[in-house]
A and B are shown apart, each in its own frame.
Chain A
Amino acid sequence: MKRNDFFGIKSLVGLALRRDRLKLPLWLVGISLMILSIVHAYAEFSAQEMKDMIIMAAANPGMRLFVAPISMGVIGDIGTFFLFRMSFIIAIMVGIMSIQIVVRHTRHNEETGCAELLSSTVLGRYASLTAALIVAICANIILSFMMAFAMIAGGLPAGGSFVAGFSFGAFGIIFAGIAAICVQLSENSRGSSGLASMALAFVFLINAVGNILGKVNAGGLGYESAWPVWLSPLGWVQQMHAYDENNWWILILFVVLLVPLVYSAFILVNRRDIGRGILAAKPGPGDAPKSLLSPLGLAWRLQRGALLGWMIPIALFALIFGGASQDFGETIEGVEMFEQVLAAAAENFGFMMISVMSVIISIYTMQSLLRKRTEEDGGPLEAVLATPVKRSTWMASHIICSVVGTLILLVIFALGLAVASEATSSQTIAYIKMALYQGSGIIALAGCIIAVYGLLPRISRTLSWVVVMFAMLAGPFFGALLDLPEGLQEISPFSHVGLVPADITASGIIILIIVGVLLGAIGMVSFNRRNLSL
């Protein structure tokens, strides 16, 4: 690395700040205001209410995915209760912000031709990446202070607020580092964001495993995490136990991880050409296999890569959670008040995991359905629809692949869970049934996404994300955590499936499927009648 490899950083940082003069403040202020309003809302809870919620979460593996560990000495304290419920949502938002900043000022710059033009003249090789990292790191440091002030303004103690603020900021900085690597590995900015988001999901799930395996305190009040949380930066955030133990020293772990992340990103910069990923394209067959030569064959070929990319982590987590299910019973053993729920909790563990995972799999469904938009918007769809392929045939082919892919993922998860938990064959079948039932919620959501694509193609990407995020947040796992009004929670299809077999009704499932099919039909008809939006 020579000094002039970094030449031009100043002007690039300036460019980035100018491009983001609206976006960045919106993120910072938005997150801070959200924190302030939630802390305010939590001040209303009585100690008994908090206690009940903590007990409920401790005994419920599905809930434990989304809440932080909490120790029993601090029951009734608003600060710890706030982090208990919100820490992972805040961490994920900060992570997404970091990913966006880094991708936008590296790959996205390259794709719009901006970076290429600049790097041939005055920019050093590492300038673009360094500038993006500087902007991301500074944004996270400023955000740390703003979050801390928001918590203090909400009436929480200053010391704990700074620990909490900086734990989230440090988490964001780690994800700037991870995104810096992802942008080198991927072929375009959408691929880079996807890869980095996957890393975010991974970090979340690893931490969740540790929390699920955590041992419940005597009396059922809170629980302590098991060792896997130390494998995840989200675990580090939660183990800082702000407002309680205030473990400042854990910040060192973030620094220790950041150095190799950034270092590898810089090494990878050297290995790739501007505008290309590091993984070089290999030549392929000169003729097409028969299986490709139809609209359905084509759609399958275009979608199978992403499906495979999802299958592997889904199978992996099925095995991990399946293994955990055998131990979950132990985590609440000996807690007197759980004696009677113990058996039920252990039995329902698998079903609960399937419900939770189906919410995550709906992200795959959305991405897969949005593939149609990629084909249309500056893609090859124009040429395909100039052949004798009907619009509805083309669309149906893609939708079939999306739905089948979704069902495959659900079944894989159920099977993995069954295998790893050494389930009996009747229980395995029950798991698979449960997974397919959960598919009905996803089908309703998919119908909505298809309708959006047919009616409003230009904003369909953003709108689909909004729809899915809403369905998740208003759904059974977050809706209760966020204290959303019942009416809002009712809109999410996931609120209607049922979390355990006892809650599932045939009419519920059928209605969800009918809603999905109707919405999908609306999308299909509008697509048939509209201009291509090229």
Chain B
Amino acid sequence: MNVVDVKNLTKYYGKFRALNEVNLKIKQGEVLGFLGPNGAGKTTTIRILLGLLRSSEGQAKLFGKDAWEDAVEIHRQLAYVPGDVHLWPNLTGGEVIDLFCKLRGGLDDIRREKLIKRFDLDPTKKCKTYSKGNRQKVALIAAFASDVDLFILDEPTSGLDPLMSAVFQDCVSKAKEDGKTVLMSSHILADVEKLCDRISIIRKGEIAETGTLSELRHMTQMSIEVETGKAIVGLEQIKGIDNLSVEGLKARFEINSDKIDEVMRHLANFNIRFLTSTPPTLEELFMRHYGDDLVDLNQASERSVS
């Protein structure tokens, strides 16, 4: 059975169409990455799934029930972490965690303590003194300490430092081991690719692509910058290299991640001194794969600069 089943979901804000015929399915036990640049419609989709907003057309079902009509029943089985976590300024973090766990049905004290320790949160502080990252921690602890089947996480790592991101990833892995289902959105590819079984890419309110990571291999192109002791030759003969530029001892190019091994072997011949590899930003990916208007936009801004 699909835990989440969204068919032809369309949402208008006034005249503005924020979602256009969105389809989304998540199977039991699956971790789905919901990927899209800012303003693509991730939060809107999630809020409709939670029955906070009404859809204009199409249907959204969770656990086989209607997201709007049966919201209360559905919510017994899920935990939600908003993208912008707002808490009550005069309640402490610990109080908020207890409250959300209780409202969701029950509190597991041992798990709560463990999570507070791992996320390194001081639960006695008032929420108004927490930074964005700390507020996010409160919401995450409250979610993972609850005994639910589905986690809906809206850009969960956007305020966390790298150490806490690692703790978060552990939590998601653990949830997956326990057979839980996870929907997490992000605008950073690297965040979701480590954890997700499948990825859905949304852009301007439309689903651009859905698939497993290997099906979306073309999305995981790396930018490589390298400096060597000897002049580099022969890179252009390797298949899958894009945007290559060689200047004396320096080279820059992009490569699909499944070709990295081959490229490294080749480069090793030239006495590597310095090498960086960066995953592309989502915007860059879109520019490359869906071209069109983003390219136009960039050219327009370049023109206006010059």
Contacts and interface: CB of A to CB of B under 8 A. Distances in A.
A521 to B, nearest CB: 20
B290 interface: no
B186 interface: no
- Interface residue tally on B, bucketed by range: 35 or more
B240 interface: no
A185 to B, nearest CB: 15
Contacts, number: 103
Contacts of B64: none
A281 B127 CA distance: 9
B73 interface: yes
Given A283-B126, A383-B139, A388-B105, A292 B95 contact: yes
B24 to A, nearest CB: 18
B94 A531 contact: no
Contacts of B204: none
Given A286-B92, A387-B104, A281 B73 contact: no
Contacts of A534: 47, 52
A293 interface: yes
A284 B95 contact: yes
Nearest to A393: B72
B88 A281 contact: no
A385 B52 contact: yes
A492 B205 CA distance: 48
Interface in A59-95: none
A531 B100 contact: no
B53 interface: yes
A116 interface: no
B95 A532 contact: no
A382 B92 contact: no
Given A287-B94, A292-B98, 4 more contacts: A284-B124, A288-B98, A292-B99, A385-B51
A453 B150 CA distance: 32
A197 to B, nearest CB: 20
Given A286-B94, A532-B47, A383 B126 contact: no
Contacts of A532: 47, 52-53
Nearest to A379: B86
Contact of B88 (A285, A302, A385, A390): A302
A187 interface: yes
Contact of B86 (A295, A301, A378, A385): A378
B103 interface: yes
Most buried by B among A285, A295, A379: A285
Interface string B42-65: 000001001111100000000000
Most buried by A among B47, B52, B73, B89: B52
A187 B128 contact: yes
Contact of B98 (A293, A302, A530): A293
Contacts of A518: none
B75 A301 contact: no
A435 to B, nearest CB: 30
A531 B12 CA distance: 12
A282 interface: yes
B85 interface: yes
B92 A383 contact: no
A534 B82 CA distance: 12
A187 B152 CA distance: 32
B239 interface: no
A487 interface: no
Of all A-B residue pairs in the complex, the 8 with the closest CB atoms, nearest first, are A288-B98, A286-B94, A386-B80, A387-B103, A288-B95, A293-B102, A286-B123, A284-B92
B125 A283 contact: yes
Nearest to B50: A386
Interface in A291-313: 292-295, 298, 301-302, 305
A29 interface: no
Contacts of A378: 84, 86
Interface in A355-396: 378-380, 382-390
Contact of A298 (B54, B99, B105, B128): B99
A111 B53 CA distance: 28
Contacts of B86: 378-380, 382-383
B3 interface: no
A235 B264 CA distance: 86
B129 to A, nearest CB: 5
B91 interface: yes
B125 A383 contact: no
B90 interface: yes
Given A287-B98, A288-B95, A388 B52 contact: no
16 contacts: A283-B122, A284-B95, A284-B126, A286-B92, A286-B124, A287-B94, A295-B103, A305-B90, A379-B86, A383-B82, A383-B86, A385-B52, A386-B80, A388-B105, A389-B75, A534-B47
